[in-house]
Chain A
């Protein structure tokens, strides 16, 4: 029998080799797991593969993922997000920076109905970029706010990252969701403060907005954004008041989005079909990585790696702060190369037993991890939000978007440190949830 250290070394080398050579992440994880199982226990252990996949997929919690994705697609494809953006702009145009604040606030509110950063950045970016260019806003300022604002999608509930995290570590997804609210508010405040600071120092970055519309027209525009606001209240209110589980909120939100879209004549059957197809495709993409990770995780446990690693780290008597710094650095580096959800699924089987052993609060750690994943989403070369905004903006070098995101990356890091110093920012609000 191999020592766990050697086994872990082989697993890491094989996994990195497969990932680096471009094997799909889900299959790289599963193949490494299978190789590990074969080396350690022989062919007979493969008998468990059916059971592992069944147990991993048969989850009511994970059902929320396709439903939230479908709702986000409906809002985006129906054009409801555009109306919401215009409605919000009549409220925020007076602030220094004008519509750039609408980007941030729009992303924050859209985040409250969508669990995905890419969907958030795409929804608000599609509505915002043509409008901002028409009015003469500085491109770098606009694009940075959209790419970074989009990252709020996985922090402000609902969050697909938190659903998977909760399912993996068996923590309450509802509590995780609510734990993300205050850090989300802090980030929105920081982002908006930065924009005010930047525009106040250089007035040429954003035009002075003047509203030419009558008050009645302004009110009409604002109220036209009601579907998105109503869905937000439905989802967050239902979860916080204990009326619905996150999955139920997702189903109710998806059904409501379809009904609203049909009533307002914003969606047709082809749009619904497109939204369904897209939601299924993205769900499979995410959850098959999760399935692969379950095989990998089983191989780790089967070879005694998880147990050995926890014992070894515990014996080192590392101060928890040192371990935390290691985790942060690990995620910052991995975030450059691997997308956020894969990064989390890849590392949790190894890290979470140590995190539990060291006495960290799993809800608090979930928020920290989500913030670190957000940073990865605006870090080159793999930052998905950078590509999303770059794709919508058209003709702008990706380096422009990257440069525009640097201040937001620093603000995200500052928020991580703040929540490490004051954990209550994450764990205070969930205490008051109604069961």
Chain B
């Protein structure tokens, strides 16, 4: 049975889909913004003054919102030299352990970055650059992306457990 057909599967699919849509939109916007800045500077001698700053914020959005999709599409790099030599069942166990450890890191990062953003909001920190934007707004992408990544990790770990159970003949759909 296709995992995407279950409710959980649908939720996980949309988590990564929302992430990649946000990431791709950020990429389009940064391209347009910087190109506009160069052209307006060259043709009209006018600078937006915020293109550098805003495109860096868009990079934060792209990076953190793109995490869940990258995990779902097996995009993270690993040293495969030894890993590929393990038997299949050992690979699954190692993958499970490393996924749990990685998820714990993401939980920690999500929690700490929620605190970080709340602090920015609470103290009213704003950018020292020309935009003067409230910093919690671009910073919000970090806890948001990390939280989506934690959800994706739950699904990823579930799929691994399902695979392991399946290999012992007790398959369950995640």
Contacts and interface: CB of A to CB of B under 8 A. Distances in A.
A281 B31 contact: no
Nearest to B81: A337
A49 B117 CA distance: 12
Contact of A50 (B30, B86, B116, B138): B116
A24 B59 contact: no
A22 B79 contact: yes
Contact of B83 (A22, A46, A51, A276): A22
A287 B65 CA distance: 12
Nearest to A336: B81
Contacts of A54: 60, 113, 116, 139, 142
A59 B30 CA distance: 12
Nearest to B70: A284
A339 interface: yes
A433 B58 CA distance: 30
Given A31-B105, A54-B139, A255 B32 contact: yes
Contacts of B55: 60, 63, 247, 251
B102 A31 contact: yes
Nearest to A382: B81
B77 A24 contact: yes
Interface in B52-73: 52-53, 55-60, 62-64, 66-67, 69-70, 73
Interface string A338-382: 110010000000000000000000000000000000000000011
A248 interface: yes
Nearest to A27: B102
A287 B70 CA distance: 12
Contacts of A288: 63, 67, 70, 76
Contacts of B5: none
Nearest to B95: A22
Contacts of B75: 281-282, 284-285
Contact of A20 (B76, B82, B117, B138): B82
Contacts of A283: 62-63, 66
Interface in A266-295: 273, 276-277, 279-285, 287-289, 291
A299 interface: no
B154 interface: no
B165 interface: no
B119 to A, nearest CB: 8
Contact of A25 (B20, B30, B78): B78
Interface of A: 18-27, 30-31, 34, 46-47, 49-51, 53-54, 57-60, 62-63, 66-67, 70, 244, 247-248, 250-252, 254-255, 273, 276-277, 279-285, 287-289, 291, 337-339, 342, 381-382
Interface of B: 20, 23-24, 27-28, 30-35, 37-38, 52-53, 55-60, 62-64, 66-67, 69-70, 73, 75-83, 86, 91, 94-95, 97-98, 101-102, 105, 108-109, 112-113, 115-117, 138-139, 142-143
